[in-house]
Amino acid sequence: MAYSEKVMEHFAHPRNVGKMEDADGVGEVGNAKCGDIMKMYIKVTDGVITDVTFNTFGCASAIATSSMATELIKGKPIDQALTLTNQAVVEALDGLPPAKIHCSVLAEQAVKAAIADYYDRNGIEYDREGFISCEDCEHCQADPA
């Protein structure tokens, strides 16, 4: 499967790139097997993600999924952003090659890691069970192609 036009667009012209100095939450995830590292920054006002940026070191799929994930959660309440799935990222990009699905998992986990950091910084209780790490993820443990 070739990359979709949306993947190529988000790779060539990623949205919301850059470090956010005054972030309310920062999440970093990575997959040592493929070398992709994502760092997501969120700004939260009254429970809504008002701004989100990212820095990603990785392949075209890693950059595109990071970009799309930021677009999907920006302006959303935190509880809605937490429902973001890797499948939603893949669908929004009109698909990914099977060997690149792990990139969408990393994007989902980067969002959740940033939200978990926001919760931790603000003493907000949350169920950590929904915040699996990449080390626990079957896609991230598969050998990259």
Of all residues in the chain, the percent with pLDDT exceeding 90 is: 79
Give CA–CA dist 109/69, Å, rounded: 10
pLDDT (mean) for 59-68: 96
Q: 129, exposed or middle or buried, with CB in 10 Å at 0-12, 13-18, 19+?
A: exposed
pLDDT tens profile 68-101: 999 999 999 999 999 999 999 999 999 999 999 9
Q: Which of 20-34, 83-97, 117-131 has the highest mean pLDDT?
A: 83-97
Q: 145, exposed or middle or buried, with CB in 10 Å at 0-12, 13-18, 19+?
A: exposed
Of all residues in the chain, the percent with pLDDT exceeding 70 is: 86
Q: Can 34 be counted among the known catalytic residues? A: yes
Q: Is 65:104 a contact under the CB 8 Å cutoff?
A: yes
Identified catalytic residue from 34, 134, 137, 140: 34
Strand order in the sheet with 36-45: 25-31, 36-45, 48-57
The DSSP element (H or E) to which 40 belongs, if any, is strand 36-45
Look at residue 75 in the predicted model and tell me its pLDDT: 98
pLDDT at 135 over 90: no
Identified catalytic residue from 59, 103, 134, 140: 103
Of 10-24, 41-55, 74-88, 115-129, the range with the lowest mean pLDDT is 115-129
Q: Can 134 be counted among the known catalytic residues? A: no
